[in-house]
Amino acid sequence: MVCGGAPQGAVRSARAGEFARAISSCGRLRVSDRNPNWEMETMPLERVMGDMLLLPTGDVIVINGAGRGTAGWENGREPVTAPVIYRPSAPQIWRFSVMAASPTARMYHSSAILLGDGRILVGGSNPHVFYNFTGVLYPTELKLDAFSPPYLSPAYDPVRPRIVGVRAAAAPAAVRGYGEEIRVSFCVTRYLTRSAVSVRIVAPSFTTHSFAMNQRMVVLRIVDVKQKASDMYTVTVVGPSTAEIAPPGYYMMFVVHAGIPSSCIWIKLQSR
């Protein structure tokens, strides 16, 4: 999925003091299809220099950036401070939702990462050749902000899972091999059904210049879900089958119940 950007000629125009309106379109492509085709959609806000992150629910957050201009020194105008959440499985007219705006402009050289508790940590913004804190339109920004997506609302606490343990028969506590069964124990006050449970692993991304590299989410196959106590459950899942699906390294593991994610635990995938 690719969203936003600047029209052709935006750099030349910005250097001449004219800041073109950013692009509002998104292109979505299922690369695993035999004959993939782009599906085009329109964001509710134009945006250039935005950051896009996968959330534990499988939704996508689009955050940071500008409404006019382009990337580069002094080339952006009109900060877009309201994040947008994209829900790929929703009907097309309901996929985009505009969130509460931040008071902080996040322009060129801003960044965002997913935290283990499901929040988004946002930092940076320096559209100048050097650090410049005064006398400019968008000063160099050193503050950090944390954005809480709607799934962190206390209203969802009854269905919010909490991981209490992870076990695998053939692995140390935090190390998992490919194709192994993993048993994840979690608590939840109001359990719904097995179909409401999923387990996902998310590779920690590193973000620069509007690219969150290394992003990857794998939804693990569920073998069964068993109740162990009044509010305790164990879900058995199968780890990724190959390193092509999930390269070796560290991942955040989340249990998602009724669309509400737990805080993560860290696991390590490695070949045996």
Q: Are 141 and 179 found together in one domain?
A: no
| 213 plus 167 within the same structural domain | yes
Tens digit of each residue's pLDDT (9 = 90 or more) over 117-172 = 999 999 999 999 999 999 999 999 999 999 999 999 999 999 999 999 888 655 55
Same domain, 147 and 183: no
Per DSSP, the three-state class of 203 is strand
CATH number at residue 227: 2.60.40.10
Same domain, yes or no, for 165 and 140? no
pLDDT tens digit sequence for 91-111: 989 999 999 999 999 999 999
Name the one residue in this structure whose structure tokens are 């902080």.
Answer: 104
Q: What phi and psi values does residue 183 have, to the nearest 5 degrees? A: -105, 120
Number of H helices, E strands in the chain: 1, 24
Of 111, 131, 152, the last residue of a domain is 152
Same domain assignment for residues 220 and 107: no
Question: How many angstroms separate the CA atoms of 256 and 157, rounded?
Answer: 12
Tell me how far apart the alpha carbons of residues 63 and 22 are, in angstroms, rounded to a whole number: 14
**Which residue, of 125, 152, 179, is where some domain finishes?**
152
Q: How many domains does the chain contain in total?
A: 2
Task: Note whether 144 and 158 are same-domain residues.
Answer: no
Strand boundaries in 65-159, DSSP class E: 66-69, 76-79, 84-86, 96-98, 110-114, 120-124, 145-147
Shared domain check, 139 and 173: no
